[in-house]
Amino acid sequence: MPSLERHPLKPFLPSNAKVLMLGSFPPQQKRWSMDFFYPNFQNDMWRIMGLIFFADKNIFIDSKNKSFHKEDIIRFLQETGIALYDTAEAVYRLRDNASDNFLEIAQSTDIERLIKEMPLCKAIATTGEKATSEIISHYHAEKPKIGEYTSISIANQELRLYRMPSTSRAYPLALDKKAIYYHEMFTELGII
């Protein structure tokens, strides 16, 4: 049996957060290019955010070091009110890769606790299939179509549950097409 991995990061919860974006669990640290969420340089989250908010997919990219500008990302997230975490606190990684297909969740995240810390939060956005499945199984919500939302009640709050396309390059959708889905969500939430 593989060893238990605990989440290496603390939830990123700006006090002005309007949306909590949830992945499943970070990749192995050997795949990290920075010590923050969506750290794999091959993941397109920060390119999508750059494209949507700055019309520049490379604004958060540190090409020289094949990394991201972490402090710029944190400042951007704080200014826009975007919170980040994952649906698992602890996992067993069944294969030596970053695929959600080979993650067995040993301990789920207490999403209610996170929501209680963000009084302005209007929505949860899952950024992959495993994260979506984890949320709907715990909170008995209807599974939204990709790019759409359903209603969910957590911590006595009515929220929107958005199901977004994965930002992994393994997900078969072009960057600009993924960005359209994210742009629509941020617009609907009044973040753009």
Res 98: pLDDT: 59
Res 103: pLDDT: 81
**Residues with Cβ < 8 Å from 148, sequence gap 6 or more?**
162, 163
Helix (H, G, I), strand (E, B) or coil at 125: strand
d(CA 176, CA 50): 11
Based on the structure, what is the number of domains in the chain? 1
Spell out, as residue ranges, where the chain has pLDDT lower than 50. Answer: none
* Contact of 51 with 175, CB cutoff 8 Å: yes
Count CA within 13 A, CB hemisphere, residue 58.
4
N- to C-terminal Cα separation, the chain:
45
Provide the residue type at 10 as one letter. Answer: K
Residue span of the structural domain in which 124 resides: 4-188
For the chain, the maximum distance between any two Cα atoms, rounded to a whole number of angstroms, is 47
CATH code of the domain containing 153: 3.40.470.10
Burial class (CB in 10 A: 0-12, 13-18, 19+), 125: buried
Structure tokens that stand for 117 in this block? 């810390």
Q: What is the pLDDT of residues 108-128, one digit of tens each?
A: 999 999 999 999 999 999 998
Comparing C-alpha atoms, which of 7, 21, 24, 9 is closest to residue 118? Answer: 21
Res 179: pLDDT: 97
